[in-house]
Structure 1
Amino acid sequence: MWQVVDLGGAGHRLRERAEINDVAAVRSPDGRLYVLLERQGLVYGPWARDLVLDEVDEDHANVSVVVVGTVPRCARTGALDDAACIAIGEQAAENPGRVFSLDPPATEEERVLSELIVELLPIRRLSMTDSLPMVGADSLVLAELSAALTVRFGVSLNAMTLFEADNVRELAAAVFGGALNKRDDVAG
């Protein structure tokens, strides 16, 4: 059964941030925490996920952030509209493409590539389901990443190929083709 969750101090700290207007949370029957985040300005996706993960005391792999236009509240009382919050959580569970979760690297290739990307971008966490444009990779960063891949791994891909990957997991498969685990010259 879905239920609304009080984030306590974490919710208060998130609401105090200039980038966030309001926040609510629901827990799914399988225990996943969906944090509904009403943002202000241009904070979205991975940055919103980082703000939430910095505050909530949960296993980060079990938290998903859903950026919403408005956290649903009852017009008369201002209290959370539990049914509407739960409905948003249920929709998010059915459409994970609109949810920002932290999906850790599953292979050595993904780990190495994500560490390299984090070195080049001003982000702290990278999910394997993040796309490079979503995390702020512009043409200059993609050119730097392409050069770094060539220097470190002898892999030559142009910036457009990097840009076209749907997510980091797909990019790792394209870059390494499963070859990294077989290479003796790559330090872990």
Structure 2
Amino acid sequence: MFGVVYGGFIVQGLALGTLFALYARDRWGRLWQGRVWDLPRAVLGTRPQQAASVAAAVLAVLPAGAHLLWACGSTRGLNADRIADRTSDFYVVEAQSAGYLVLAVAAALTLAFRRGRALPVKVPLAAAWVAGAAAACWAGWQATASLVVAESAAERPTALMNLTYAGGMIVGVLVAGLVVRFLVAHPAAANRRTV
């Protein structure tokens, strides 16, 4: 039964991901053509975009650092329940969370400051979209789950855990906002505004 249920989820996820990639290519494919440096300054490199990417980088220091510490085995800032339940899965998820935050910020800075002159636009754009969404969604889920009233103090999230979740969510939303701004501000987007 387990294999059938989770096998179905895997097939469904792969199908939805493939369909979205095909839709995105047809809908926005012309927007991510070319190199980062070749894009007009109105699309990339405006002061608000640069300020948002720097804010995301500054805000990512705490959550990325906390996730990295927890991935390396530190128990600082974890509640007693989480410390007792750490398995290899915990360390992998924490390393991924730190990696998503770092990748999202690096991609946002690359786009906003137009670095990587020869880099195809689709590389930092896809990295910002995927890593920013992963950071925002996972941190959002953790923040929502932390609102559940715990029966004991050992189960309640610590202040550092709550700050880590909130910081990850904010960073992910800022980076996703930069991607959306890119898609809206691109001159080729004005040619096709229909859904």
State the TM-score, normalized to the length of structure 2. Answer: 0.25
Larger relative contact order (C-alpha < 8 A, sep ≥ 6)? 2
The structure richer in helix per residue is 2
State the TM-score, normalized to the length of structure 1. Answer: 0.26
